[in-house]
Structure 1
Amino acid sequence: MTEHEVVEICAGAGGQALGLERAGFEHALAVELDENACNTLRANRSTWKVAEGDVADPSVWNPADYQDVALLAGGVPCPPFSVAGKQLGAGDERDLFAWAIEQAAVVQPRALLLENVRGLSMPRFAGYRQHVLDRLAELGYVAEWRLLQASDFGVPQLRPRFILVALTPEDAQYFYWPETEPSPLTVGETLADLMASDGWRGAKQWTKKADRIAPTIVGGSKKHGGADLGPTRAKRAWAEMGVDALGLADAPPPADSPTDFVPKLTCEMVARIQGWSNAYPWDFTGRKTSRYRQIGNAFPPPVAYAVGAAIRRAFQRTGNPRSLDNIDHDPIYKALRSSTDFVTPEHLMKSAGLADPAELERRIGLLSRDFHVHIKTVGAKTRYKLGDFKAFVGQESHDRHDLFLKHRARIS
Structure 2
Amino acid sequence: MGNLFAKEEPPPMVLVPPIFDFPPLAARTRMLVPAYDLLFGKLALRCLYEDYFEQPRHLSTRIMLKPLEDPNVDLITTVSGPLDQTSGRTMEGNALFRWQRDLDDPNTFMDIMVSTNDPMLRLRSCAYYPKYRLGAFGIFPLLKSKRVLPEDYGVMGLRYGSEILSIGTTFMPFPLSSDTPVSAWLVGRAGRLCLGVQYKPLCESKKPLCFKDLNNWNFSIGYGVGLGSPLCPSYSFSLELARSSQLIASFYQHFVVQRRVKNPFEESQIAGITNYIDFGFELRSRINGDKSLGSGDNSSFQLAASWQANKNFLVKGKLGPFGSSVALAFKSWWRPSFTFSLTAINDHLNGTTSYGFGIRTEDLREPSYQRADPNYVMLTPNKEHLAEGVVQNFGQRPLFQSNIDTGNYDHLPRELKPMGKIF
Q: TM-score, normalised by structure 1?
A: 0.27
Which has more radius of gyration?
A: 2
Decide which structure has greater strand share. Answer: 2
